[in-house]
């Protein structure tokens, strides 16, 4: 016997009132708390309930009756599909206002913490192309958008390089342009994709553990250095030859690459922390600078993904510490050691 699918109600002309975590907004109907993605406070919408929990429900906006006066137009063609940058519909200044309110409310109302005066959030001066690292995935299972499905077309090209779709680990949305990293990242990714299409390279199938191209990591620095890491599954000499040809193509097409690295990953998972990183061209690292300091960043290094904002953050940490030069400072949780090195000049020892 086929179990009848449970039907959830449609809530009409609901006003969105607040911002929640994880890119969702909040509405209330008769004291029922509703979490909704891709809407902003002031929107008036019809909501289709998707999931019911004990104390709240999750819903999707299926019709807009009125757009909020603070609503912005998304700038990315992949908005609402890839799962990232969920607040493109909310101006950055408004995002900061709501985030500050959320932090204060959580500490006071939920944490029951008495707070001193809180300084305003220090916003990022750059809100596009600000990340210094992005990781892309190759897959032979391209995610089809609702518009593509409605066309009822048989697509010959189902290989894609881009980002995983939320809740679909084996499918990848083909990314044409991402606004998170320097545009050279888009040019490199798209060039590799086109070369792979033209030369019939296989894209990885995570379920069947088959295919050659797996992942692409691109790192940049504020001083213009560029690292590209191509991760592939290589099981034959012929695949190794194809790998070398692709690496040489990238090196020739993008001479600005400082470090062209590659990793052979024949494991089931995508992590490379336990794998050897090989250098095809240039150094096995790039450099980042902060004041008089120079940091060496390798393929596996952790570094704050917004370099310029990290610099502002570290300056605040240094000022808050009010170091006199006599202190012994312990760095108990560190990555590349940026904070420890940054404050070393103001302390006796770190």
The pLDDT tens digits of the residues spanning 54-73 come to: 899 999 999 999 999 999 99
Residue 120 lies in a domain: no
**φ, ψ at 104 (rounded to 5°):** -65, -45
270/319 same-domain check: no
Residue 220 lies in a domain: yes
The pLDDT tens digits of the residues spanning 24-47 come to: 999 999 989 999 999 999 999 999
How many residues in total does the chain contain? 350
Residue 118 lies in a domain: no
246/105 same-domain check: no
The pLDDT tens digits of the residues spanning 212-226 come to: 999 999 999 999 999
Residue 339 has pLDDT above 60, yes or no: yes
Residue 161: half-sphere exposure toward Cβ, Cα within 13 Å: 31
183/268 same-domain check: yes
Strand-pairing partners, residue 219, are 133, 227
Residue 298 lies in a domain: no
Sign of CA dihedral 336, 337, 338, 341: negative
Q: What is the CATH number of the domain that holds 168?
A: 2.40.50.1070
154/24 same-domain check: no
Q: What is the CATH number of the domain that holds 77?
A: 2.40.50.140
pLDDT at 4: 59
Say if residues 350 and 340 touch (Cβ distance below 8 Å). yes
160/67 same-domain check: no
Q: What is the pTM (predicted TM-score) of this model? A: 0.92
240/192 same-domain check: yes
- What is the arithmetic mean of pLDDT over 149-176? 90
Residue 280 lies in a domain: yes
Residue 349 lies in a domain: no
147/34 same-domain check: no
DSSP E strands: which ranges in the chain?
10-19, 24-29, 32-37, 44-52, 56-66, 133-139, 160-165, 168-174, 213-220, 226-232, 259-264, 278-282, 285-290, 293-298
Residue 199 lies in a domain: yes
82/196 same-domain check: no
Token readout for 90 is: 């909310």
Highest mean pLDDT among 89-103, 179-193, 322-336: 179-193
Residue 4 lies in a domain: no
277/250 same-domain check: yes
Mapped onto helix, strand or coil, the DSSP state of residue 205 is: strand
How many domains, the chain?
3
Host domain of residue 326: 304-344
């Amino acid at each position: 016997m086929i179990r009848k699918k449970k039907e959830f109600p449609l809530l009409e002309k609901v006003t969105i009132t607040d911002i929640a975590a994880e890119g969702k907004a909040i509405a209330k109907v008769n004291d029922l708390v509703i979490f909704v993605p891709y809407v902003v406070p002031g929107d008036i919408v019809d909501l289709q309930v998707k999931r019911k929990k004990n104390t709240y429900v999750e819903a999707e906006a299926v019709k807009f009756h009125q757009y909020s006066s603070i609503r912005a137009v998304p700038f990315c063609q992949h908005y609402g599909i890839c799962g990232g940058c969920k607040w493109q519909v909310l101006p950055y200044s408004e995002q900061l206002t709501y985030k500050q309110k959320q932090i204060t409310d959580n500490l006071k109302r939920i944490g029951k913490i008495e707070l001193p005066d809180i300084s305003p959030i220090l916003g990022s001066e750059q809100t596009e192309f600000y990340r210094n690292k992005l990781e892309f995935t190759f897959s032979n299972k391209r995610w089809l958008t609702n518009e593509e499905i409605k066309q009822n077309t048989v697509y010959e090209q189902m290989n894609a390089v881009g980002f995983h779709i939320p809740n679909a680990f084996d499918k990848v949305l083909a990314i044409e342009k991402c606004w998170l990293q320097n545009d050279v990242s888009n040019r490199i990714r798209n060039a590799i994709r086109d070369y792979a299409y033209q030369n019939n390279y296989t894209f990885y199938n995570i379920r069947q553990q088959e295919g050659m191209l797996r992942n692409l990591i691109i790192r940049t620095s504020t001083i213009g250095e560029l690292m590209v890491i191509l991760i592939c599954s290589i099981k034959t000499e012929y695949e190794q030859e194809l790998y070398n040809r692709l690496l040489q193509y990238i090196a020739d097409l993008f001479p600005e690459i400082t470090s062209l690295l590659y990793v052979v990953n024949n494991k089931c998972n995508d992590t490379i922390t336990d794998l050897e990183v090989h250098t095809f061209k240039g150094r096995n690292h790039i450099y980042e600078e902060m004041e008089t300091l120079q940091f060496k960043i390798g393929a596996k290094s952790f570094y704050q993904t917004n370099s310029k904002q990290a610099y502002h953050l570290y300056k605040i940490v240094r000022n808050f510490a009010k170091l006199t030069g006599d202190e012994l400072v312990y760095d108990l949780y560190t990555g590349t050691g940026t904070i420890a090195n940054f404050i070393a000049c103001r302390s006796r020892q770190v």
